Structure 1
Amino acid sequence: MIEWLVVWGVTEAVGILVKPILEDLVKDGAKDFAKDFFKDSLKNVIVGEKDPRKVAAGKAIKKFLELVQQQLKIAGLPPDEIKRYIKDVKQFINNKSVKEILGKA
């Protein structure tokens, strides 16, 4: 199986909010996430292991998480307080409706 964190460009440098959420996403199964993320778009694309939908979904979520993290930093939150948002942000992006909306972008 492809190392999705590498494909999506996730490194230690992405930050305290982004990396743990994407690591959990990989553990939970990038395949199912990409399927929900692109529920209505790209329906008829037949792809294999290097599914471009998985790559696109991961990169899009990574960018979204980076923006959330950036806004929390701009708001003046210290790293320990930003870590408190991991659970809530993870719950938000795992919401089926949110995945479908983000996938339409």
Structure 2
Amino acid sequence: MIRYELVNFLPRFDEWVDLESPADEIRAAVLSWMFTRAENPYLGVKRTEGFVNLWYGAVPHTEHGAGDVVVCSYFINESERAVKCNGFATLSTPI
């Protein structure tokens, strides 16, 4: 299985946690999902129109509050087999 290198995911995760102080179960769901990006970064996300290789999507099992969900955006570089995190945020649904 070809794996992708994860770039800047932990620093962006830490920034998001510092900014939004999510509940422990939400943090755990995001961390679990984050590492799946190394296996298949295209799974469950959509390409952002107008940007080269920028993808985004809701992180599964992070629904909370009154319709909020955690989302992540990242760039996929196929030639380097790298996925570079752009950031995490909590948004209202629908996305």
**TM-score with structure 2 setting the length:** 0.38
Q: More helix per residue: 1 or 2?
A: 1
Q: TM-score with structure 1 length normalisation? A: 0.35
Which structure is larger by alpha-carbon Rg, 1 or 2?
1
More strand by share: 2
